[in-house]
Amino acid sequence: MNNKANRSKNTPNHGRLLPMLLAVIAVLLIALLAFFLTQGKSSGTEALDNLPNYTDVKGKIVVDGLKYEKQPHLGSEDAKVKVIEFADFKCPACKNWTASYLDTFIKDYVDSGKAQFYFMNFAFIDRDSYLAASAGEAIYQQNNEKFWEYLHKLYESQGDESKIWATQKFITKFVKDNIAGIDQEQFEQDLKNHTYMYDVKEDFKIAGAYGVNGTPKFMVNGVLLPDSSYEGLSAAVEAALSAAK
């Protein structure tokens, strides 16, 4: 009897250990879940750091014309036709139009002296749209030709439209790696300080006042076109050339 009692005392009580083990596992899983959720939240917050808001832009904006003189441009100022593209660097359709048609338009109309082509920001998709636009403005202020290099290469590196990707960190590295021949230190200072956000917001307000509500959109000699097809743009330019004779 005594030996049996001793064996019972020395045998582990599995009935008690299992719930304790499960409780420890549950606590560990909860801790891991909390860690990953916190990390995800921190990453998201970090991505939003230094992204501008139109509401933060100070200064009264008055819509009193298209202000061609402030826009990046291609072609001769003596051209009879002025074409404006309204675009957002996060817009997939803008990327596709540039890749498919911009070089063709330049060959058909800009190089021949028939039309001058302008770019105007309509940054509306998200806050990193504004930052990408202000980066373009900062480059344009240094060098008009480098702006077009930025435009082509940024579209080639375009991220998911539904995600924040054009962060200050991304754009700083992107420009450093891809756009030579500018003052990188000045560019980074302008990007960090949102130096040209007023210009981006001004573009947005002007475009909206002229009926722009999406991208890409095109205007020929002050008339907003109903669609963004190359055929429609070409026809409008040809009509404007005929009217100018």
Can you give the pLDDT at residue 123? Answer: 98
Q: Is the pLDDT of residue 7 over 50?
A: no
Mean of pLDDT values over 71-90: 97
Would you place residue 42 in the very low, low, confident or very high pLDDT band (cuts 50, 70, 90)? very low
Cis before 216? omega within 30: yes
